[in-house]
Amino acid sequence: MSFFQEQAVTSSDKTFFRLREEIVEGEIAAGSKLSEVELSTKYEVSRAVVREAINRLEACNIVERKANVGARVVTLTAEGLIELYQIREALEGMAARLAAQNMPEAEIEKLATLLDDQFELVKQGQSYYQEAGDLDFHYRIIVGSQNQQLITMLSNGIYHLARMYRVQLGMTGPRVTTAYDEHKHIVRAIANRDGELAEILMRRHIQYSKNNIAVKLSKM
């Protein structure tokens, strides 16, 4: 389901991907301890590769580690969610601004038709904003920024953490129609090469989805 397919060449890569998935998807509970020996027997690899995988997860802010004590999966809190979305707002806002400057016409075109196609599905009763569609939208704009460091930052680290929150809070359905409209406006601003507006709209869009999640979080 990932667009930016990272390919695992080394055994450490595979372990990292697998462990990350199990954490993000909630198979390994938030806040739980990660024992190196336990995981190495479970995945049938040496402790060294598990260690390396955990180190990488730490760099993603998915686990926290204390020296000589060990690593724990981060706990999901309202504060953490807000912090994360503040960062997303800043970075993806900038990405939208840069995309308005740098995204090739052809890519903008494709993004627009993608939205149109999704709109057809909405009219036919299928709910838009099925995770994947939203993801695709955001990812294309991030790539459109053509800022390599920004792309790496968002798609390696922040994205997975954000998904962890959504998954574990059971965010599947809503925000159907409004999200579509918001996407549409953002694309229009990019097509008009209006970076200022694109940034403002993207930031609002992310603020809305933050509020949407925060509401659910407060009910738990």
Contact residues: DNA, CB under 7 A: 10-12, 33-37, 45-49, 51-52, 65, 67-71
Residue 13 or 107: which CB sits closer to DNA? Answer: 13
CA dihedral sign, ordered 57, 61, 63, 65: positive
Angle (nearest 5°) at CA 4 between 28 and 178 = 85
| Residue 93, binding choice from DNA, its own copies, none, Cβ under 5 to 8 Å by partner class | its own copies
Nearest of 198, 53, 211, 147 to residue 155 by alpha carbon: 147
Q: How far apart are CA 210 and CA 81, in angstroms?
A: 8
Question: With binding defined as CB under 8 A, does residue 147 bind its own copies?
Answer: yes
Encoded tokens for 181: 């409209």
Question: With binding defined as CB under 8 A, does residue 80 bind its own copies?
Answer: yes
Question: With binding defined as CB under 8 A, does residue 96 bind its own copies?
Answer: no
In the chain, how many H helices and how many E strands? Answer: 10, 3
Question: With binding defined as CB under 8 A, does residue 94 bind its own copies?
Answer: yes
Question: With binding defined as CB under 8 A, does residue 182 bind its own copies?
Answer: no
Question: With binding defined as CB under 8 A, does residue 152 bind its own copies?
Answer: yes
Centre a 10 Å sphere on the Cβ of residue 82 and count the other Cβ atoms it contains.
14
Under rule CB under 8 A, which residues in 107-146 are in contact with its own copies? Answer: none
Question: With binding defined as CB under 8 A, does residue 214 bind its own copies?
Answer: no
Angle (nearest 5°) at CA 24 between 128 and 131 = 5
Residue ranges that bind its own copies, judged by CB under 8 A: 9-10, 13, 48, 51-52, 55-56, 59, 61, 67-68, 80, 83-84, 86-87, 89-91, 93-94, 98, 147-150, 152-153
